[in-house]
Structure 1
Amino acid sequence: MSLSVSSAAVAGACASHGAPLLEVTDLRVAIARGDDEIRPVDGVSFSIRQGQTFALLGESGCGKSMTALALARLLPDTGQICGGSVHLAGEDVLALPEAAMRRVRGGRIGMIFQEPSTSLNPVMTVGAQIMEALARHCPPGVVLADEACGLLEAVGIPDPARRLRDFPFQFSGGMKQRVMIAIALAGRPQLLIADEPTTALDVTIQAQVLDLLVAIQRARGMGMLLITHDLGVVARVAHTVGVMYAGEIVETGARTDFFAAPLHPYSRKLFAALPGADRRGAALEAPEGSVPGLDRVFQGCRFAERCPMAFDRCDEEAPGWHRLGEQAVRCHLYEGVSVPRPFVPAQALTAVAEGARSRQPVLEIRDLSVHFPVRKGVLKRKVAELKAVDGLSLRLYAGRTLALVGESGCGKTTVGKAALRLVEATAGEFLLDGENITALPEQALHPLRRAVQMVFQDPFASLNPRMRVGDIIEEGMNALALGGDPRQRRKQVDGLLERVGLDPDMRWRYPHEFSGGQRQRIAVARALAVAPRVLICDEPTSALDVSVQAQLLNLMRELQREHGLAYLFITHNLAVVEYLADEVAVMYLGRIVEEGPVERVLSAPTHPYTRSLMAAVPRIDAESAEDSGADTATAALDLPSPLAPPAGCHFHPRCAHATDVCRLSYPQVTEMSQGHRVRCHWPRFGA
């Protein structure tokens, strides 16, 4: 028989021996909204031991970040903690007066926020911001500048004494996240809260940040609360896992147990929504719908509306907790169950439909270069040239997907914008259906604008906030004089909204009234409105939850099959590449270093840079936290500046296999087999 347990017991389920560092019991948060009340945290219990990481996993809107803010008592003005307890090393945090709580925040509890660009003060140097935290929590007599320098050095920022005088905009995304970690460590916290610390970071930068957090945790013995929706990150660093849904935790357990046999139907849906090579040709099993609003009173199971295994009792009665070994789950299905069944994600049942490739590409890019002049002084004299793209060639075929991968700063987005003539090329040619359109004037580019459309990374920034969604979608048709009369266009807009999974009545709403995943669907509908033949997708899934990502990938796969679209998919998510792409091109400092069929390049990468990207990807196997692979050493070095790329092979300063010839000359293309090409002097070394 299964063992039903209380919330208090669940809080202690993750701490096997001794008193936990943090113990949260039946925590409840309410936020007033007019006459209504939102309950983003509704009876949450968990515990964290010293030196251990507890990962809080779930979709956006589940209440993860609000849980973290409640622990530090940083709720919005209309929010309040209306129940439960939070004990840090035995002390009741919720009972402390605000004056004492100020010493706890940044001192005993450190916090890393999701977006460093908005968390760092843009008008203060990073040194001043670190010293501000040190001044509050360090004992008298400490030399703040020396301490700040030591913190920057500890988080791996080179030349820390000089970088203390720099402002946040002078740091890359990964470096800014390191500065945030330094600020969080200034008070030598017992507990570190990391809220989505790697969202939208490249795989190599993500690996740097995660490895840094693990190393600092081991050195200082901190407990860590990691908030994320990325199962790969959880597998890499967590010791215990809690799955959160609609304001409550529905499953807890050790990382190894959780990845061997996730129990709750919601947890299993998250695994089934993960893209990968093993699911090519099959739809991803994303949970249908979205997280329910937290302003309603729930009677039964909160996941029942989206659960394929729900029965009548799920709608009428909230499930209690059940223990299965070291795991605990809140689900009616586990009454009378004592041993969890292993979970095997659904595999692809059908092969990818391989249509015959057209002999002629829809869009061809030949020897593209995009150089930006760097000017200084009153007269704005050119002092240098930034080579964002430096001699790149690509071909896009109907019904196929070419993935362009690489770190931030390698020039991927510039390629997409140059293909649309949104930035002017320094050199190179563009061929649309074999016709050279390179020299066409701006007013003659209507065929290109219609045939090639772009879906941008941030849909909120790319959608006009002052226009209704229907007008946004219709705007392209109006500009290109497509779609017939206004009545016919409105009908087409309604059809497009339905096609991307939205209600036609939503055409009257503004962008801010939609979720991130819905806004990305609107961006896809806008691109489809002019019946394009090529879609350039710039990181369209980078900041989406795994379930919303799966919904979008399913939609894109269906649209490609229905309309024969060619995709240029710009991304750093290699799991998405494995699932969606037919060919992949790996880009480094403005040049393609390896390309070919996706199954060839990703299963047997020959360039050291491609191997380092593959090694840096967090995997969901239980051993991934301990085994990061030899090639991850590459991730410790930052991408060189395109203002002054290294001589010879651009990758040689980061390559463990570099020789003298690599430092002297750039490698020529080596043909491997079956269309697999690489630019490396030693392509088979270590392959």
Structure 2
Amino acid sequence: MNAPLPADLPEAATAALLHVEGLGVAIARTDGEEVRPVDGVNFAIAAGETFALLGESGCGKSMTALALARLLPDGGRIAAGSVRLGDEDLLALPEAAMRRVRGGRIGMIFQEPATSLNPVMSVGAQIAEALAAHGLRGAAARAEACRLLAAVGIPDPERRLQEFPFQFSGGMKQRVMIAIALAGRPRLLIADEPTTALDVTIQAQVLDLLAELQRREGMAMLLITHDLGVVARVAHRVGVMYAGQVVESGPREAFFATPLHPYSRKLFAALPEAAKRGGALDAPVGSVPPPDRHFPGCRFAERCPAAFDRCDEEVPVWHAVGTQAVRCHLYEGVAIPRRFVRETAGAADVVAARPAQSVLEVAELAVHFPVRKGFLRRTVGHVKAVDGVSLRLQPGRTLALVGESGCGKTTVGKALLRLIEPTAGRLWLDGERYDALPLSALQPLRRAVQMVFQDPFASLDPRMRVGEIIEEGLAALGVGADHRARQARVTELLERVGLSAEMRWRYPHEFSGGQRQRIAVARALAVAPRVIVCDEPTSALDVSVQAQLLNLMRELQHEQGLAYLFITHNLAVVEYLADEVAVMYLGRIVEEGPIERVLGVRAHPYTRALLAAVPRIEGAGGAAPDVGGTGVAGGSTATPGTIMAELPSPLAPPSGCHFHPRCPYATDVCRIRYPAPADLGQGHRVRCHWPLALR
């Protein structure tokens, strides 16, 4: 059974456009057996409505989307159920007819635009290819492609049609994917993690764009995500998926006010928030069971804190609870939702006094990359990726470096380890300068400072076993008396990060994303460092795996006094984990200080814009987003404070304050002179001509 459609939808939208009943997907294994990643999924979506399918990685969300479009991988088949789009049964169509449906009545935005776009075809050719599949070619196709790029907010669309995907930013590539998905004017748009790994400002732009296009076209939208903030911002109804089944469904406002299923409540408990600082996040233990498991009872039972004997032996049925529906034995005979009280604080730990001595310090760091052109490769300019950054890292404390993609955060982290050579600046480790040391003399730095990279799959050698990957650093830096001692250290590290010693014999591809990130942490810890540079370590992790990793990092910091430089665009993580924060824009720090001061005062308009762009779950229990009203004629759906302009190029940054072209408070002095640092007290500093007027 499904929860009823929301009453606030327009009358024309109350008839469901998409009906999915009992959908099951089977995939054949090499041993002849089959696995069931999707097993009995039911939901419906009305025209003009957004239905969010929520859950951890491995729950079957993306496989459900692929099944709707009949794009299953080799060996996959629809094992059961029906999928009706309007009056048509999609599973009964021959493949030739289904090709007309894909990209026509159904559009799809895939999770990773960088891998979904063809790197050797221009953007215009890829949009034209989608248009040609629906009978539009030549000059008419080019005009329509230009219109689509303009519709998704890409400036100068005529020129950019000729460009290739590598010439677009991450947010722009996602907009191109949306344009391709809209080429056939679909009635149903499937958006599979459309904002994963995008920074908060680009994420806000993409979500606002989807909402505006939905309002304009009246599309139904299936939004697949693990981000509760995104769900709170754009969804009308929510379905929670676990181990191949939907376990809870209902209107967005009811779901956020009172999540019913124990799994849903665990997802809320795992959210990092400022109110939970000092306490551990209540992440679900373990992980999603594999699709080859047989379940005699509830699929969540082994991870459920409320499980009892019946949960292990009997499959739960659907129960209607108010406007919601839940598949759980706890709601037998319950007609009124039980009140949900979110945990907002954990048991505070004793925080050590701020030490006077920094373990690592950087002053006026600059990294400029030359731009060369012509046959003789003459230098015609420099990309000022980092331009005068000063930071201090202290034992047992976390400094968060935040900002949009392209602002220079990762370059700062790599320059601290001399993985990228600084153009200028001074670097100290325990008071000793190391910026001028030859590479052969940097072994003490390599032992003291380690890095956890953003993409663990790319940073782990796919040809080496996990045990060899961790031991390699030990051998290279001379840690451990012999091979046996290093093997014992590998065992200790794997167990410390929550993995078993037997996993040392596996290769990286045999692990989930969260497990690979734990391996990357174990490798960084192997040589007993005192500083760890964490470059977006949680950017692509779902909320429960993120909580497990944050709990681990917090425990390690308290046990070993580690200093963290936490590079991220996830401000919710910053609020939970960081002690100090530095806000970076176009290679420079524009605001810095204690976390409570910077995020409380928000003296710089860029800091305010970043925080305004963060999707929040507070207030999500209110009215659903408008999907049928006309709104303000010609108005924008942009969230107040959202930065709509693109980040300027560091090759030619704006004169004066670099932020002035995007700043609503800019005056003439902002366009002429870069602001000097202003001290706002309590270690809080800002570079803005008018900081006091903004408080």
Q: Which TM-score tier does this pair reach, normalised by the shorter chain?
A: over 0.9
Counterpart CA distance in 2 for 1:626 and 1:606 is: 31
Contact 1:634 1:654 in 2 (8 A): no
For residues 447-526 of structure 1, the aligned pairs below 5 Å read 447-526=444-523
Counterpart CA distance in 1 for 2:638 and 2:546 is: 30
TM-score, structure 1 as length reference? 0.97
Give the counterpart of 1:42 among 39, 57, 62: 39
Contact 1:28 1:84 in 2 (8 A): yes
Counterpart CA distance in 2 for 1:136 and 1:467 is: 43
Counterpart CA distance in 2 for 1:139 and 1:127 is: 13
Contact 1:285 1:550 in 2 (8 A): yes
User: Is 2:295 the partner of 1:291?
Assistant: no
State which drifts further: 105-114 or 288-297: 288-297
* Matching residue of 2:392: 395
Distance 1:97 1:349, change over 3 A: closer
CA deviations on 1:595-619 (whole Å, 9 max, x unpaired) are 0011111122110000000000000
* Matching residue of 2:16: 20
For residues 313-328 of structure 1, the aligned pairs below 5 Å read 313-328=310-325
SS of the residue corresponding to residue 694 of structure 2 reads coil
Give the counterpart of 2:210 among 208, 213, 238: 213
Distance 1:77 1:239, change over 3 A: same
1:481 positional shift: 0.8
1:331 positional shift: 0.1
1:142 positional shift: 7.3
Counterpart CA distance in 2 for 1:649 and 1:383 is: 24
SS of the residue corresponding to residue 474 of structure 1 reads helix
Could you list the runs of 5+ residues in structure 2 that have no partner in the other structure? Answer: 627-635
* Matching residue of 2:617: 620
Counterpart CA distance in 1 for 2:687 and 2:149 is: 36
Give the counterpart of 1:257 among 247, 254, 257: 254
Contact 2:205 2:638 in 1 (8 A): no
Contact 1:236 1:624 in 2 (8 A): no
Count of residue pairs brought into register by the alignment: 679
Contact 2:283 2:545 in 1 (8 A): yes
Distance 1:666 1:139, change over 3 A: closer
Counterpart CA distance in 2 for 1:146 and 1:355 is: 63
Equivalent position amino acid for 2:556 in 1? L
Contact 1:363 1:396 in 2 (8 A): yes
* Matching residue of 1:427: 424
* Matching residue of 1:67: 64
1:296 positional shift: 2.0
Equivalent position amino acid for 2:692 in 1? R
* Matching residue of 1:592: 589
Contact 1:11 1:47 in 2 (8 A): no
1:351 positional shift: 2.9
Equivalent position amino acid for 1:21 in 2? L
* Matching residue of 1:576: 573
Contact 1:662 1:681 in 2 (8 A): yes
Contact 1:612 1:631 in 2 (8 A): no
Distance 1:557 1:513, change over 3 A: same
Distance 1:520 1:413, change over 3 A: same
1:350 positional shift: 2.8
* Matching residue of 2:631: none
* Matching residue of 2:646: 638
Counterpart CA distance in 2 for 1:381 and 1:141 is: 40
Give the counterpart of 2:661 among 629, 648, 653: 653
Distance 1:281 1:439, change over 3 A: same
Equivalent position amino acid for 1:168 in 2? P
1:684 positional shift: 2.3
* Matching residue of 1:10: 2
Equivalent position amino acid for 2:26 in 1? A
Equivalent position amino acid for 1:232 in 2? G
User: Is 2:192 the partner of 1:195?
Assistant: yes
* Matching residue of 1:684: 692
Identity between Structure 1 and Structure 2 (%): 75
User: Is 2:553 the partner of 1:553?
Assistant: no
1:478 positional shift: 0.6
For residues 56-95 of structure 1, the aligned pairs below 5 Å read 56-95=53-92
Distance 1:630 1:193, change over 3 A: closer
Equivalent position amino acid for 1:127 in 2? G
Contact 1:376 1:382 in 2 (8 A): yes
* Matching residue of 1:528: 525
Could you list the runs of 5+ residues in structure 1 that have no partner in the other structure? Answer: 1-8
1:132 positional shift: 1.0
Counterpart CA distance in 2 for 1:624 and 1:236 is: 11
* Matching residue of 2:48: 51
Across the aligned residues of Structure 1 and Structure 2, the Cα RMSD in angstroms comes to 1.6
Equivalent position amino acid for 1:639 in 2? L
1:559 positional shift: 0.0
Equivalent position amino acid for 1:10 in 2? N
SS of the residue corresponding to residue 10 of structure 1 reads coil
Counterpart CA distance in 1 for 2:501 and 2:441 is: 34
Give the counterpart of 2:334 among 333, 337, 341: 337
SS of the residue corresponding to residue 544 of structure 2 reads helix
CA deviations on 1:354-389 (whole Å, 9 max, x unpaired) are 212221100000110000000011111001100000
Contact 2:277 2:577 in 1 (8 A): yes
Counterpart CA distance in 2 for 1:629 and 1:13 is: 24
